[in-house]
């Protein structure tokens, strides 16, 4: 896989944030879940602690724990500096300031790192880059998630997103994508055509969620087969 670690800026969210971003109920948590572009989020690790098994897909899982820990140390200050510079683009409610942001993100990434080696051995962290075909059967998962990956990187182009979502819909009964914005906190330029493309085959809708950190990033896209 030609995926360079120096192009990665690891930044991970936690289970509480995933629950809010995706309107996840207790019943949802018990579903068979696959989550794309999970990076160093602690969602998988915290779900494991609750007795649930989540599969996370991300190309960064080809790297060792030491490599990822080193990359987190290298990029942490830069991300915080950028966020401080663009503070007005964020809603400081759930997370009240930069200091709390640093604490919450570092805690999530430490929880991920502690779980990473056992999780890889259990097949919960799979090195995989969408839109490549995954190893899973049609409809193997009840729920697929994408936090801050699909739609967000609009610069990857419409085809990348359509093909990646097509693969997710092959293996999942339903998927949820958050946020619907791009990296500049504008509505993702691939959102409209994505809705149009999948609207004829599936049920598709935008739903409000209780999470808002990127300003106006308080909606998710749900695509389902039933």
Ligand X SMILES: C[S@@+](CC[C@H](N)C(=O)[O-])C[C@H]1O[C@@H](n2cnc3c(N)ncnc32)[C@H](O)[C@@H]1O
* Binding test (CB under 6 A) with ligand X, winner from 22, 63, 125, 149: 149
Counted residue by residue, the chain has a size of: 226
CB of 200 vs ligand X, minimal distance in Å: 25
DSSP per-residue codes, 37-92: T-TT-SHHHHHHHTT--EEEE-GGGGS-HHHHHHHHHHHHHHHHHHHHHTGGGB--
d(C-alpha 41, C-alpha 60), whole Å? 12
CB of 68 vs ligand X, minimal distance in Å: 10
- 39 CB-near residues (< 8 Å, 6+ apart): 8, 10, 11, 12, 58, 60
40 token code pair: 């160093």
Note whether 176 binds ligand X by CB under 6 A. no
CB of 150 vs ligand X, minimal distance in Å: 9
Residue 36 per-residue DSSP state = E
Note whether 38 binds ligand X by CB under 6 A. yes
Nearer to ligand X, 59 or 144 (CB): 59
Note whether 57 binds ligand X by CB under 6 A. yes
Note whether 148 binds ligand X by CB under 6 A. yes
CB of 112 vs ligand X, minimal distance in Å: 9
Q: Do 40 and 11 form a contact (C-beta atoms < 8 A)?
A: yes
71 token code pair: 């990359």
d(C-alpha 132, C-alpha 70), whole Å? 28
Note whether 115 binds ligand X by CB under 6 A. no
Note whether 119 binds ligand X by CB under 6 A. no
Nearer to ligand X, 66 or 226 (CB): 66
* Binding test (CB under 6 A) with ligand X, winner from 24, 39, 44, 115: 39
Give the closest residue to 126 by CA, choosing from 38, 51, 50: 38
Note whether 129 binds ligand X by CB under 6 A. yes
Nearer to ligand X, 105 or 191 (CB): 105
Note whether 58 binds ligand X by CB under 6 A. yes
* Interacting residues with ligand X (CB under 6 A): 8, 11-13, 36-39, 41, 57-60, 129-130, 147-149
């Amino acid at each position: 896989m030609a995926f360079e670690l120096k192009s990665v800026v690891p930044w991970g969210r936690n289970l509480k944030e995933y629950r809010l971003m995706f309107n996840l109920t207790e019943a949802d948590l018990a579903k068979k879940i696959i989550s794309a572009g999970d990076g160093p989020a602690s969602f998988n690790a915290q779900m494991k602690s609750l007795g649930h098994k989540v599969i996370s897909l991300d190309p960064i899982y080809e790297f060792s724990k030491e490599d990822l820990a080193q990359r987190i140390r290298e990029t942490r200050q830069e991300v915080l500096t950028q966020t401080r510079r663009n503070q007005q683009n964020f809603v400081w409610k759930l997370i009240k300031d930069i200091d709390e942001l640093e604490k919450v993100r570092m805690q999530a990434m430490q929880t991920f790192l502690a779980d990473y080696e056992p999780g890889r051995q259990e097949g919960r962290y799979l090195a995989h880059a969408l839109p490549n075909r995954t190893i899973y059967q049609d409809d193997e998962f009840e729920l697929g998630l994408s936090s801050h990956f699909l739609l967000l990187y609009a610069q990857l182009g419409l085809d990348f997103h359509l093909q990646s979502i097509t693969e997710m819909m092959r293996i999942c009964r339903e998927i949820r994508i958050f946020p619907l914005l791009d990296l500049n906190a504008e509505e993702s330029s691939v959102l409209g055509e994505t809705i149009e493309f999948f609207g004829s085959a599936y049920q598709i809708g935008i739903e409000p969620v209780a999470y808002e950190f990127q300003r106006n990033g308080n909606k998710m896209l749900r695509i389902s087969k039933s």
